[in-house]
Structure 1
Amino acid sequence: MNKGKFASFILTLGLILNLVAAPMVSASNAGNETAFRAELKAVASKTFKYFQENTDPNTGMTYDEVRITEKGMQEAKRTSPTNIGMYMMSTVSAQQLGLISKTEAVKRLQVTLDTLGKLEKWNGLFYNWYNTDDGSIKKDWGQFISQVDNGWLSAGLIVVGQAYAELRGQTSKLVDNMNYQPLYDPEVGQFRGGYDVAKGKLTDHHYGMFYTEPRVASYIAIGKGDVPKEHWWKLYRTLPKEWDWQAQIPQGSNVLHDGVNVFEGTYEYNGVKFVPSWGGSMFEGLMPGIVLKEKELGTKALGLNNKRHVELQIAYAKEKGYPAWGFSPSATPTGYSEFAATPLGTSGYKDGATVTAHASFLALEYAPEAIRKNIKALKGFNMYSKYGFYDSVNVETGELAKAYLALDQGMIMVSIANYLKDGVIRNYFHSDPIGQKPEELLEREVFAIH
């Protein structure tokens, strides 16, 4: 055979092998995705069991935390507005995933809504801690009105109202009555952290950082008309350059948005530009995306930044030599602490070699293959138990925090529902006028991280 014919033969053979191999690779990928989706649904089933077994049947209020101890299961029978919001969205998620019927979902949520209507409030906003058995304020934990926690309750109510028309009258009334204006400082253009009812005093601090979880309440307050849309631009993308105590001195330039001069600054880690959160944790950055269409609408800003934070959390764990990743505030064996991929924050929390499952699930829509591998790694630490994943593990010592938190269970549930059902919870949220009105704020911005 001459060289020309031989080359032609090799080329033809290569094409044939590629044609044969392509369907095999495609079938393999499809099989992996099918298996992964089944695994996620199994995780959701166990995770929702937490809400089924640890929510007071008379009040519809979920216990803040359950710990597995030598003396058995210890239930923290208190709850917060965030927990209530996460329970409501988890119930909608469970129905969407086929874990419960619509009848059961509505029945459960009706109990919760009836209780919410009776709870003591301040300007329609909810106190930060209630006893789950009777809905009384847990006064030994103070009498605080939290901006961020009320934001998550508002989000849950909006989602429920859009998912079940028969409940919309109740949810709309509660949301309409939640007046965020008294927590807003018009001179600064930012929210105070909250209000201490007993002291009759707003907090001294403001929620100034944009890439943190309070942006959900900011978005909702703008959507309701409680605060002007200029508030969105008054939040710090990075802190001002002259604040030299921060982790890095940001680089960037000023851009005018709705008459507001916005410093579009960035940090850099491993040669990658990003907009930092306060502490560098996953839930600060990605929790808002369970209801806000940041991935879909903020393709040049929040959605892109979310993707960067996922990639950089993975890179940080690799740099540290950890066998798993996912850094976010979580339970510890003796309590609760803040953990993060330290370089990603303005004032970064330590990582403590502590990884929490909810951080992985929040990242599902940005890095599904990496999450699939990380779930396997987490299960290798014996984290997977009765209600899904224990809240955290020290990846250096293998020590588990044998606790389940309503907040973290809720993030896992909603993240799985969004992934398996094409953003269903976000779609419900944005179907409401409150979710629709500020959408252009998500679309217009361009972070300097391209």
Structure 2
Amino acid sequence: MRLRSLAAATAATALLLTGATTASAGGRHHPDDLGLTRQDRADLHRWAQDTWTSFVAMTDETTGLPADNIDASLDPATRSGYTSPTNIGAYLWSTISAQELGVISKREARKRMAQTLATVATMERHEPSGMFYNWYDEATGAKLTEFPTGETVYPFLSTVDNGWMAAALMVVASAEPSLRRQANALLEPMNFGAFYDANQFGGARPGMMRGGFWVDPPNPEQCTQPGDVAGSTVLFTCHHYDITNSEPRIASYIGIVRGQVPPAHYFATNRTFPASCDWSWLEQRPVGVTRTYEGLEVFEGAFTYRGMHIVPSWGGDMFEELMPDLFVPESEWAPKSWGVNHPLAVRAHIEHGMVEAGYGYWGFSPASDPFGTYNVYGVDAIGMDPGGYPSDAEKTNVDAGYEGCREATNPTPTFGDGVVTPHASFLALPYAPREAVDNLRNIETVLGAYGDGGFYDSVAVRSNTQAKRYLSLDQGMVLGALGNVLGGNVLHESFGTRQVEKVLRPLIGQEEFSAGVIK
């Protein structure tokens, strides 16, 4: 089968969904060309204001650090009692967005960010690498060794957490000149080479990023590998981030831009694993061709779903696909790879929710669990995880089999109580603005999954069971997306400086995914 270019295929592949207009199959829309009505923009702005209200409630007045989460009541007494580098980063870039949208004044934004940066400067970090630990007390800034529940914390240096913190510091340094020195003083010591495994393949080819490391021994059941970071003995995770389409690529981007990781590392990760029976545990056999970039052979694999070839993420969720795109304008800088894949992934979420599963709603991503604490959700068919990120509370797993190697076990499942996550629709706004706004309106007005702090974190749509919580990370995705869509691409412009573009654009722009609409 041949693939048509998305631009040429837009009209022929338009989605015919009841209650929704056609989704764009032609890529990211420019903020000025989204086709949004005055009422659409008014609703988006109102949602931004309410989402910011949740951040104000989550943030400690003394330290300027946001809690990981808070109940729908927004009562400060329900703050989680812990935070992470990712949460702090989300608050910083959300403050930039809130200012750009006129939700808060420039003076308030500066004051809030200065307070946060001052606290971060006092927080314990791993000095040889300059990296931050995974959990801190938002009320004091102290590194945690025990959660409020009494559960033991084994302090960990996370590649992903530090990636989002560094991204936020880069945004602040660029967007707010009065805080540039303060932000850069925190950013400068952060060396992403600490996570990069140059010897993973014996030096024969670039390596990948590790999951992170511990300074002190973790839980004895945890797999570790001893190693060295700038003369400091550490215990690395046994796993590497070996998938391209996942959130760790923000750490890769930053490490490459700062000269701490070789550019060819970007092509060391897998678009899919090889189409071989050695990998038959995958959801399906990938299709694709092998191409060479930076001297490395790359299997440009893709999964097949509803007339599309899509490069899968690990879980088939919107978060892995689109969160890095909040900062790096991937569709613009890499039109033959991310510029093709991102709109198709959004289309897959819409078709899954509206047609295949028939939920009447769409957008699936890890979030608070309506029936518990936290869980992962996605479109299983476009995820590589063999266990699957389900789209419903029943955790329905899709298994199409692996052609020539393994029989299908559940190729046409019946889906149950679908769990949609509003932040997924906000991430999708640049690619399907009409569908995203309509979906969010229905979540608010029909399901009522909305409170004083904006959209609740998730909702099981058939039982209308709502996760009445707000999470810093997910609210940060909401405000980050709105900062780009309504605020003149503020995160793209602030992160994607000339120097960043000079390094990243030619690197990622040379690639061509095996993604597209099947003819």
After TM superposition, the score normalised by the length of structure 2 is 0.79
The worse-fitting range, judged by mean Cα deviation, of 168-177 and 330-339 is 168-177
Partner SS state of residue 51, structure 1: helix
Residue 162 of structure 2 aligns with an amino acid whose one-letter code is N
1:178 maps onto 2:184 in alignment? no
Residue 295 (structure 1) aligns with: 331
Query: Aligned-pair distance for 1:194?
Result: 0.7
Aligned equivalents of 2:123, 2:215: Cα separation in 1: 15
1:224 maps onto 2:258 in alignment? yes
Aligned equivalents of 1:356, 1:134: Cα separation in 2: 31
Q: 68, 71, 78: which is aligned to 1:67?
A: 71
Q: 175, 190, 202: which is aligned to 2:236?
A: 202
Residue 239 (structure 1) aligns with: 273
Residue 496 (structure 2) aligns with: 430
In structure 2, runs of 5+ residues without a counterpart are: 1-32, 147-152, 201-206, 218-233, 393-417
- Listed one character per residue, the Cα deviations across residues 366-390 of structure 1 (whole Å, up to 9, x for unaligned) are 0000012101221111111110000
Q: Which runs of 4+ in 1 moved over 4 A?
A: 29-32, 69-73
Residue 436 of structure 2 aligns with an amino acid whose one-letter code is I
Report if aligned partners of 1:430, 1:436 keep a CA contact under 8 Å in 2.
Answer: no
Query: Aligned-pair distance for 1:441?
Result: 1.9
How many aligned positions are there?
422
1:151 maps onto 2:163 in alignment? yes
- Listed one character per residue, the Cα deviations across residues 377-421 of structure 1 (whole Å, up to 9, x for unaligned) are 211111111100000100111100101000000100110110112
Query: Aligned-pair distance for 1:303?
Result: 2.4
Report if aligned partners of 2:72, 2:456 keep a CA contact under 8 Å in 1.
Answer: no
The worse-fitting range, judged by mean Cα deviation, of 261-270 and 196-205 is 196-205
1:129 maps onto 2:140 in alignment? no
Q: Cα gap change, 1:371/1:133 in structure 2, threshold over 3 Å: closer, same or farther?
A: same
- Listed one character per residue, the Cα deviations across residues 286-339 of structure 1 (whole Å, up to 9, x for unaligned) are 111100111211211112211110000001112111011110001013200001
Report if aligned partners of 1:393, 1:399 keep a CA contact under 8 Å in 2.
Answer: yes
Partner SS state of residue 110, structure 1: helix
1:42-57 matched pairs, under 5 angstroms: 42-57=46-61
Query: Aligned-pair distance for 1:71?
Result: 10
Residue 338 (structure 1) aligns with: 376
Q: 424, 427, 435: which is aligned to 1:359?
A: 424
Partner SS state of residue 188, structure 2: helix
Q: 84, 90, 93: which is aligned to 1:86?
A: 90
Query: Aligned-pair distance for 1:351?
Result: 1.2
Report if aligned partners of 2:58, 2:74 keep a CA contact under 8 Å in 1.
Answer: no
Partner SS state of residue 37, structure 2: helix
Alpha-carbon RMSD: 1.8
Aligned equivalents of 1:413, 1:142: Cα separation in 2: 31
- Listed one character per residue, the Cα deviations across residues 56-106 of structure 1 (whole Å, up to 9, x for unaligned) are 122111010012489996210211111111100000000000111111111
Q: 115, 120, 131: which is aligned to 1:116?
A: 120
1:368 maps onto 2:433 in alignment? yes
Aligned equivalents of 1:240, 1:286: Cα separation in 2: 24
Query: Aligned-pair distance for 1:221?
Result: 0.4
Report if aligned partners of 1:65, 1:76 keep a CA contact under 8 Å in 2.
Answer: yes
Q: 341, 348, 372: which is aligned to 1:312?
A: 348
Residue 208 of structure 1 aligns with an amino acid whose one-letter code is D
- Listed one character per residue, the Cα deviations across residues 120-156 of structure 1 (whole Å, up to 9, x for unaligned) are 1111110010001111111122201100110000000
1:444 maps onto 2:510 in alignment? yes
Aligned equivalents of 1:30, 1:362: Cα separation in 2: 14
1:369-388 matched pairs, under 5 angstroms: 369-379=434-444, 380-388=446-454
Query: Aligned-pair distance for 1:187?
Result: 2.5
Query: Aligned-pair distance for 1:184?
Result: 1.0
Q: As a proportion of its length, which structure holds more helix?
A: 1
Report if aligned partners of 1:220, 1:435 keep a CA contact under 8 Å in 2.
Answer: no
1:33 maps onto 2:37 in alignment? yes
Higher relative contact order (CA 8 A, sep 6+): 2
Partner SS state of residue 366, structure 1: coil
Aligned equivalents of 1:79, 1:91: Cα separation in 2: 17
Query: Aligned-pair distance for 1:197?
Result: 2.0
1:402 maps onto 2:446 in alignment? no
Residue 127 of structure 1 aligns with an amino acid whose one-letter code is Y
If you compute each CA radius of gyration, which structure gives the higher value, 1 or 2? Answer: 1
Query: Aligned-pair distance for 1:157?
Result: 0.3
Residue 276 (structure 1) aligns with: 312
Aligned equivalents of 1:30, 1:392: Cα separation in 2: 26
Aligned equivalents of 2:60, 2:77: Cα separation in 1: 16
Residue 363 of structure 2 aligns with an amino acid whose one-letter code is G
1:159-178 matched pairs, under 5 angstroms: 159-178=171-190
- Listed one character per residue, the Cα deviations across residues 146-203 of structure 1 (whole Å, up to 9, x for unaligned) are 0011000000000000011111112122222101112111133101101022223100
Partner SS state of residue 195, structure 1: strand
Query: Aligned-pair distance for 1:442?
Result: 2.4
Partner SS state of residue 438, structure 1: helix
Partner SS state of residue 325, structure 1: coil
Q: 302, 305, 315: which is aligned to 1:266?
A: 302
Report if aligned partners of 1:383, 1:400 keep a CA contact under 8 Å in 2.
Answer: yes
Report if aligned partners of 1:223, 1:437 keep a CA contact under 8 Å in 2.
Answer: yes
Residue 24 (structure 1) aligns with: none
Aligned equivalents of 2:34, 2:74: Cα separation in 1: 44
Aligned equivalents of 1:437, 1:362: Cα separation in 2: 25
Q: 280, 288, 298: which is aligned to 1:252?
A: 288
In structure 1, runs of 5+ residues without a counterpart are: 1-28
1:349 maps onto 2:415 in alignment? no
Aligned equivalents of 2:501, 2:65: Cα separation in 1: 25
Query: Aligned-pair distance for 1:222?
Result: 0.4
After TM superposition, the score normalised by the length of structure 1 is 0.91
Residue 210 of structure 2 aligns with an amino acid whose one-letter code is R
Query: Aligned-pair distance for 1:31?
Result: 9.6
1:420 maps onto 2:486 in alignment? yes
The worse-fitting range, judged by mean Cα deviation, of 295-304 and 35-44 is 295-304
- Identical-residue share of aligned pairs (%): 40
Report if aligned partners of 1:323, 1:377 keep a CA contact under 8 Å in 2.
Answer: no
